[in-house]
Amino acid sequence: MKAMSEVEIRTAMVNAAPGEAERMPVPGLHEVVWDDREYLGWRDPGSPLRGYLAYWSGDRAVGIALRASEVRLQPGAAICSLCNTTQPAGQVTMFSAALAGDAGRSGNSVGTYMCADLACSLLIRIAPPSYDWLPDTSQVIADRIAGLEARLHAFGGRIVQSAA
């Protein structure tokens, strides 16, 4: 992922409520390893139900404000819709995002299950065990990256499309 500045992130927020982009906390960008990410995702430490995603769609920065569900999944396993990683249910959360534009201001939103810490980029880079019958681990990770990017852009597209 190409690096983003704080200004780029704040101005990219497509579905933030008035003033929300200015108030949202932005993580320490100097600590981000941009080459190992498909998006920047973080939770608001002062408001645990808030989360944010920022990514590039071509040359356009896109930012999405999220709201985590207060309801926890039942014990068991769950799958993140972005990275397709199976995890304990407590590590996956339903996030909703207001649609961009008038549709979002009218209360319309979309939701999906995501890694609760929004760290899919880190999970997909965990190399699988090496077996003779499995593809090369670097190919497995490349396929995971491509899948994550496709699902991220599809989710973001559903939010942005409403404003078009």
* Radius of gyration for the chain, computed over Cα atoms and rounded to the nearest angstrom: 16
Give the end-to-end CA distance of the chain in Å, rounded to a whole number.
25
pLDDT tens for each residue of 92-139: 999 999 999 999 999 999 999 999 999 999 999 998 887 777 778 888
Residue 162, pLDDT > 80, answer: no
Provide mean pLDDT across the span 23-38.
94
Extract the tokens encoding 144.
Answer: 């995971």
pLDDT in tens, 45-61: 999 999 999 999 999 99
Domain residue ranges of the chain, discontinuous segments joined by +: 6-161
Q: Tokens for 80?
A: 């993140």
4, 61 in Cβ contact below 8 A? yes
What mean pLDDT value characterizes the chain?
93
The residues near 52 (Cβ < 8 Å, ≥ 6 apart) are 13, 24, 41, 42, 43, 44, 63, 64, 65, 66, 118
